[in-house]
Amino acid sequence: MTSALTTTPATARRSRLRGLDGLRFLAAAVVVGYHYTGIDRDYWGRPPSAVFPTLNHVTRYGYLGVELFFVISGFVILMTAWGRPLPGFVASRVARLYPAYWVAVGLTVLLQLVWAGGRQLGWFDNAMNLTMVQEGFGIDSVQGAFWTLWVELKFYLLAALVLLVGFTPRRVLAFAILWPVLSQTFRLAGWTFLENLFIAEFAPYFGVGMLLFLIHREGGTLLRWLGVAVTGLLCVEQTVRHAPLATRGVGVEISPVACAVVVVAMIASVWLVADGPLRHLDWRWLSVVGALTYPLYLVHGQFGFAVIDTLHGRLGAYAVVALAVGLSLGIAVGLHYLVERRWHDRLRDGVLRLLGG
């Protein structure tokens, strides 16, 4: 999700894609809504479906915001990597991912010292979290939402392998279609290692995003749109198959039909802001909120849960949610302006020197 969350602020080249920044923030907002009012956690003292009997009918589907992030990531990773040498690609990703992440990990560890309801990890697990690859070693993340970062890192690795050969329209088309199809073959065959390595559960979302960028850059052809149809159908199949698991997570029924409709709508939304009627959106504030998406995603979980756990029953439920959102947004603003903007260029240049780029 993080390429969707962490793209460089809009340049002149992509100023007409400010709508993509807004879409990214919308995805983060629905994930926040899901975590605060949708998923069944103990922090409210009773199920969120009882605390928010009306709102929960919508926010219970907010986990699909992660899938939207992955579609956007597929689109954005090509936009940031096309025509760039591998060292430049690696340096740009490291510089965008790690500064805010390191500080978020540190702040979360400090929170765990004063809030008993947080994830109480040992010093080694906390230290391993600084690598961002802890999930690959079976180590818990300090914040639950960090699992998506491991998924994104594996996507970056696959994209880097294609970049080594060189991005061309034909290669991208082949990769974006064959990768999701092959990953599903591994899943059906029960080859767990390859299924995990090729990110079978989420490959279709990345693939359809890559195809939408290819159409954005090179134009639509029958084969490219057929690729969108194939990967889109795989996305629908994935979300329908996942619905029973999501039902257990939220404690109330998740409709497979509603999931399918949402997935189709979110794929369409990326096309709408890239090449459709909304492609000319050029409101600067969209890029401003888009820049806050990644830091908000990093901190909203444990910090928002701490507010809910501490204040529920003392204030009205919606007031508690507002305070949780306000705290998370406040920390996100600090991370962006005090960390990301100050350290991005320095870290990027340092990595480039290290790689000889």
pLDDT tens-place string over residues 177-192: 999 999 999 999 999 9
Kindly report the number of other CB atoms within 10 A of residue 196's CB atom: 16
- Give residues with Cβ within 8 angstroms of 134, minimum separation 6: 125, 128, 140, 141, 146, 150
Where the chain has pLDDT below 70, the residues are: 1-16, 357
Q: Are 234 and 206 in contact (CB under 8 A)?
A: no
Give me the pLDDT at residue 41, please.
Answer: 87
For residue 119, give the H/E element and its range: none
Which spans in 6-146 are helix H?
Answer: 18-37, 48-51, 56-59, 64-81, 86-114, 123-129
* 199: Cβ contacts below 8 Å, ≥ 6 apart: 151, 154, 155, 158, 183, 206
Distance between CA 194 and CA 183 in Å, rounded?
A: 8
Specify the pTM. Answer: 0.93
To which residue do tokens 């995603």 refer? 297
Measured between alpha carbons, how far is residue 216 from residues 73, 76, 117, 127, 268 in Å?
A: 14, 11, 46, 41, 13
Tell me the three state secondary structure of residue 133. coil
As a whole number of Å, the CA-based R_g of the chain is: 20
Distance from C-alpha of 212 to C-alpha of 328, rounded to nearest angstrom: 32
Q: Are 132 and 97 in contact (CB under 8 A)?
A: yes
The closest alpha carbon to 298, from 342, 262, 329, 254, belongs to 329
How long is the chain? Answer: 357
